[in-house]
Structure 1
């Protein structure tokens, strides 16, 4: 069996974690691969049913043994005799694993969803050092190739079709028009545009309810939203560690009975919530990948409004979503987000118009929702895991 190390955290609560969790699940009974995770796996971070958990147990045990072994080499740099799938950020640096150990694989494979398309000489040199870079979108691959890199391929992330698929609604809020917004709070995700547009839409439609899943382990990134000037400043709680989302909605003119914050919801618990939504809204300014939350909404048949920029372009189709095609240069962003050339700014007027269209013509909205579900039915974690397996085995 070919050993492979997943060099990022496993979780049911954030994008990278869901990616790793699904690789582990699909490789659990694979006769050709034996996967490990080089980060501690918290029991409170895995929220799956008992059958899935039973399948994961050998992976969790192996990973725990690896983490314990790394504890005897704390702070050192070591090379392992297996491919290392390393999560990369905008700077293409590999983060240390458990106990501060810097791991090097045989070989290193970079897995990247980068949002800032500018690469300096040092970043470019780090990118070239990888045997292969797996990009999360065709936009990412195009940028890397424009910089002269040829050690790159694209693997689109997936959805779990056993969870995220069209199904009947419970209808507990049948008298409301539910607008969903998800993703960690930050300028890049565009929640300032969401609240600005929804406040206008909600004044004309008192039955409208904004339902948000903005929780993340990195609330500090929410402060970048203040740079746009399109929404009221972000308020934090008394401890300064969590955003008071209800207060922010209120400060932006959204009535208390038109706002609902879901808090931290495990990935596997999201499908029945999403299926209740009338429309989902993602005016994101930049996505290195295809935006996992948007993919899950589309997979459930939710009519979805998408900004036509960056990684979203892999999902854009007039028959599968409501595209925000008018994109302008992003202004007002500073060093906190690393720069914005190549990002796209959606018009608040266009967002309101798309919301009005979805509200006025429910049949057309349902048609586009069905088109999105049909598209996403082929973009599964099984497909992603199979593509990543082929890459790992090709490196033997």
Structure 2
């Protein structure tokens, strides 16, 4: 029986540990917190998982919250009109909703990671509650057939060198601020189904609103992404959750009053329901070398960390876990050497590269042909639907989004131009 160590208990680490466990591997999982500490702690992320990522969970029968979490059937885009955040009435230059082919769902990671961790232990997995340093891994690498590092923050990430060719940004491109709330009213447009709302305020940033399942039941996530140094970049140093929410709402009233209109009665889900921070999107070398010469393989955010502007973090983590699981199973009794590690990462990068390219494009001011696409989706429902479903399969953007000629040809297919 092959022995595998997974360090880090997030979406990818836990999904991979549970998947390996179900195939009879002897798996040890290291987490720096217990399930109870995770459940009662601060929110760790925003997350909206689309069909393909959810299917990976279903395949492993880990979709424990599917019947409770809101079924997100659409994805809407609104763009504030130029100058609309000056005093006076605010207009939206664009406002549409694309329908998803398969519904999306969001489960607060505090709920999911705590539940999955308990399941892993109940199924006989060895759970070690301990923060891991490079020195610890040096010791473990001699006792395990494979060590996987899925802890996307902290000292361990420094073992994986940044890949400058795949990492165009050296600095954070957005300041992030999250609040989980109860009491958000429905959007007057399409109140009959749940949708993620992407509100773009040119030159300022973005507000995402998504239905979720949290520790206290159904809720919504209010998520600001502010251009650094701009009017949304005001959350640094705000420690008080009530102050964080009040700032969130103040900015909504100013920049996205159509969303603020349904948020006048919201309250935080719990004292841990806010989060703020920033990080530079980075792709790293997937193989980490320990002082003793042992090798470890980086997983998900450790090796490909994109900005959350395209909502791909937990989707990518699920896809990475699925790709790595398949590679480990196919390897049989052969050694998990460096060549295998690089091939395993390449298998994941085949999908992740599209996510990275699209996400990095969305962080930059949109070129004219992208503005044309987003505008056309307001009157052409198939364009809105295709854009929405691109969140599930970002590879599709290659065919109509990046290249002005392809975008023109695609829109021309509707108008006969």
> Aligning the two structures, in what range does the TM-score lie when normalised by the shorter sequence?
0.3 to 0.5
Normalized against structure 1, the TM-score is what? 0.39
Query: Higher strand fraction: Structure 1 or Structure 2?
Result: 2
Normalized against structure 2, the TM-score is what? 0.37
